Amino acid sequence: MSTSSSSRTLSLHERYASARRCVNSASVVCVAAILQLDPAQQEDTIQSFDALRRHLTQRIDHVLEQFPLLGYCVQASRSKTPRWAPVVPAPTSKDILHVGTPMFQQGTKSDTSALLSKAILEEQLALPKTTQLEKGPLWRVQLVPIRTEQGDTSSCLLVLATDHVINDGRGTLNLFQLLLQSSPSSPSHPPTAIAIPPASDKIFSFHPSASYLLGEVWRELILPKLPFPKKLKAKLKGPESWPASSPSLARKRRHSDLEQPEVVRTPKECKPDLELVLVSSPRLISNIKALSKAHLHPKSRKPATIHSIIHTLSLVALYAAISRSHSSDVSQFKLNLGSATPISLREEESPSRKRSKKSPHQPLPVTSGNYVSSFASTYRLSARETFWTFTHRFSTSLSSPRGQRLAKQHMGLLAYIPDFETKPREEEDQVESALGGVSEWDGKYRNGWEKFFGDRASSSAPFDSALTENLSIALSTRPDAFADNQLFQRFKRYLRRLVLDFAAENVTVEKVKSSQESHQEKKRIKLDLTQDITFATLVTYLIASE
C-alpha cells in the first residue's frame, strides 16, 4: 500500500476535536444502518453475511489507498502544534473492520430505534478507548449479525465511527456510502492516492471581523474576569441560551420557580444518552414540503427548507417542555434558546478570497478532513412568535451571504483561544508515548485549548445547548444533568407529535382527549395549520394532547 509522505499541522477544527479528546470529551461522528441480507445468489444467509464482510474488507482497503488521511494519526497531540503523521505500519482492513457477536431483534419499529440508538452510543463511547490518537487509525467499522426470535440471520448492523479529528459529518456519511458501493469486478488501474487534504483554515477565510471578534473577546475573556456583581455581568454579556440562563415572565414580577437552577450536575457527572426518533408516516417529506410551499413568505423567493422546519419544531418542542417544567402560564413565558447548524464547505466553489482567479479550484476530497462552518444564534422565544415567520427568518439568515460569512467567522474564533504549552515530566512523556498518546486524562492541562474546553465542561453553565437535533432526527442529551428528570422524554414526545402533525394529509389536526373530571366528557383540540400559528397555540396544543 502506498502512502503519502505529506504532513501538516492540524486545522482549527481538527485541533478542536483533538483537544476535546485529550480531556476525555471526544467528538465522534457515527453512521449506522440495518442491512438486509439477500441470499438470492447465496445458498444461505451465512454465506451472504460472509460475502458482505469480504466486500467491506475490499472497500476499506480501497478507501485507505485513495484517502491517505484515513491512515494517519496525530503527532504531539498535547502540544501547541499537533501534526498529522502516517500510522506505522500502514493500517489495513484488519485494523478497521470488527465483526461482533450476534444480537437479537424483535423487528418492531421501537426495537429498531432502540437498537440503532444503543449501537451508535456504544461506538461513540468505544472509539476513544479502542483507538490510539498518536499511533493508530482513528476510525472503526463494526459489523454485527442480527438474529430473529426464530434464530434466523436475515439482517445485520453496520456502524461506522470516525473521530471528528479526521472527518466531519458530511465526510463520514460519504465514507459510509463509499463502503457500500459495488466494487468493480476487474479494476483497470489501482486507485490514485492523493496527498492528505489541506487544512480548512488555509483555503477558507475564517477571519472574524473586528466588531465580531471584539464582541466575543469581551463576553468570553474580559467580562468574566471583571469584579462586577453577577447580575451586572449577566446584563452586560447579553442574551445567553438556556440552560445557562433561566426562563422569564413577560410581566415584571418575581417568580421563584423560574429562578431555580436548571442544571444540577455537570456533564462529567452524568451518563450520556442518545435516542433516534424514527418518525414515519405516508408521504412525510412531501407533505411537509407541500405545507411549506403553502406558507411561502411574501419577501422570500423559496419555501422554507425541511431543515428550517425541523429546526423550528425542535425549538417549539423544547420551549413547550421547559414551560411545562415550570407549570408556567405560556402566554407570559419567555426563553432564550441557542442553536447551531453545521454547514458543509466541501462543495463551495470559491474557498478563498486569497486564491488567484487564474488558479483553478482543486476539488476537496469527498471524505477525510474537516470542512465545515457553524451558523450559531440565540433566539428570544415568546408566546406571540409565529411559526412560519420565525422559520422563514431562520431559513433566510442561514442561506444568506451574511449568514454564511458569520458561520465561518464563528469557526474562526477558535484561533483566538488563549494558548500555552506545559512540558510534561520525562517519565510522563514516556508513559504516554508507550500508550500511543492520551489514554485516561490525568486532570492536568497541557495547553490553552485543553484548559479552555476542560474548564467550560466543568463550569456551572457547561452546556452551549442541552438538546440537539438534525434531520435524522437524533437527540443527544444527558438527562441526569437537569433538575426536571422528565424533561428529555417530554421534549421527545412533543417533537414527535409536531413532526407527525405537520406531515399529516389534513392541514387541520384534531385530537380527542378525556377530561380529568370524567372519562365520558371529551375535549376536542384543533390545530389549524393553514394559519401562521403562534408558539402559544402550539404549546397549548402539545400540553393538552398529553
| 302 and 442 belong to one structural domain | yes
State the amino acid at position 484 in one-letter form.
D
Q: Within a domain: residue 202? A: no
| 273 and 170 belong to one structural domain | no
| 115 and 231 belong to one structural domain | no
278: buried, middle or exposed (CB in 10 Å: 19+, 13-18, 0-12)? middle
Q: Quick one: pLDDT at residue 194?
A: 66
Grid cell at residue 107: 423487528
Q: Quick one: pLDDT at residue 224?
A: 82
pLDDT < 70 regions, the chain: 1-5, 39-43, 106-110, 184-194, 249-261, 278-282, 349-362, 424-442, 459-473, 506-525
Q: Within a domain: residue 218? A: yes
State the amino acid at position 428 in one-letter form.
E
Say how many residues make up the chain.
Answer: 546
Grid cell at residue 425: 515530566
Predicted TM-score (pTM) of this structure: 0.86
Query: Which residue range forms the structural domain that includes residue 504?
Result: 210-544
Question: Total structural domains in the chain?
Answer: 2
Q: How far is 278 from 468, CA to CA, in rounded Å?
A: 15
| 251 and 388 belong to one structural domain | yes
Q: Within a domain: residue 300? A: yes
State the amino acid at position 530 in one-letter form.
T
Give me the DSSP letters along 411-428: HHGGGGS---B-PPPHHH
Query: Among candidates 156, 9, 181, 166, which has minimal Cα distance to 79?
Result: 9
| 341 and 454 belong to one structural domain | yes
| 405 and 488 belong to one structural domain | yes
Tell me the three state secondary structure of residue 231: helix
Domain finish residue from 166, 184, 202: 184
Q: Within a domain: residue 6? A: no
| 165 and 66 belong to one structural domain | yes
Q: How far is 216 from 17, CA to CA, in rounded Å?
A: 21
| 401 and 537 belong to one structural domain | yes
| 223 and 180 belong to one structural domain | no
| 253 and 384 belong to one structural domain | yes
Q: Within a domain: residue 195? A: no
Q: How far is 505 from 336, CA to CA, in rounded Å?
A: 33
Q: Within a domain: residue 18? A: yes
Here the CATH number for the domain that contains residue 160 is 3.30.559.10
Q: Within a domain: residue 450? A: yes
| 159 and 234 belong to one structural domain | no
Strands 103-104 and 139-147: parallel
| 468 and 397 belong to one structural domain | yes
Q: How far is 524 from 249, CA to CA, in rounded Å?
A: 29
Q: Within a domain: residue 100? A: yes
What does the pLDDT look like over 115-172, one tens digit per residue?
888 999 999 999 999 999 999 999 999 999 998 777 777 899 999 999 999 999 999 9
189: buried, middle or exposed (CB in 10 Å: 19+, 13-18, 0-12)? exposed
Q: Degrees (nearest 5) of the Cα angle 10, 12, 16? A: 90
